[in-house]
Amino acid sequence: MADQHSTAGQGSVSRSLYDVNSSDPRSELVDRSQLDPEDVGQITRLMNALSGLREKEKALADASEKYMKLSSQDMRALHFLIVANHRKEVVTPGMLGTHLGMSPASITKLLNRLEKGGHISRRVHPTDRRAFSIEVTDETRASAMRTVGKQHAKRFHAAARLTREQRDVVINFLEDTAREMSLDDADWAQER
């Protein structure tokens, strides 16, 4: 379902799922009867801003995959490994498989591909000599930090420009939105 987006600040009317007339079938999804039209317009701009952020995040992910010549699954694995390294955590294939929701055989294939590409190295586990740990190579870490990491860090700058009170509002909104969008009670989304 594609939304039409307005350019922020230009005052043009935007159309989305939230900005429909009562005869439109989508009007059944959102009850706007208690809201002032100005509130509906502002909510629509907020939803469009979220959509715009998702588009930027998708473009960043696509560009990083292309730059690194890796799949989205490979990038998720490297991100997990880099974060774990910053936390001084040792990562095993099993841990990575659990995080990515992949079988042991699929993780082995992924690790073989990443190792062949020079992105990871496998070492004997520091405390369990029967297992091994996985680490991102210095070259891949530096490349990821110089490109994708640098772009992601800009989100911190945007948050830092807000006051504490504004950040609390944003945090509450995002956490509430995540709860509202949870698939826990969505029968259609459960495995059959």
**pTM of structure:** 0.68
For helices 72-86 and 93-100, give the axis angle rounded to 10 degrees.
120
What are 75-124's pLDDT values in tens digits?
Answer: 999 999 999 999 999 999 999 999 999 999 999 999 999 999 999 999 98
Q: Is 88 helix (H, G, I), strand (E, B) or coil?
A: coil
Predicted confidence band of residue 14 (pLDDT cuts 50, 70, 90):
very low
Residue pointed to by tokens 């379902």: 1
Domain boundaries, the chain: 72-136
Predicted confidence band of residue 156 (pLDDT cuts 50, 70, 90):
very high
Secondary-structure class of domain 72-136 per CATH:
mainly alpha
Through-space distance between the first and last CA atoms of the chain, rounded to whole angstroms:
25
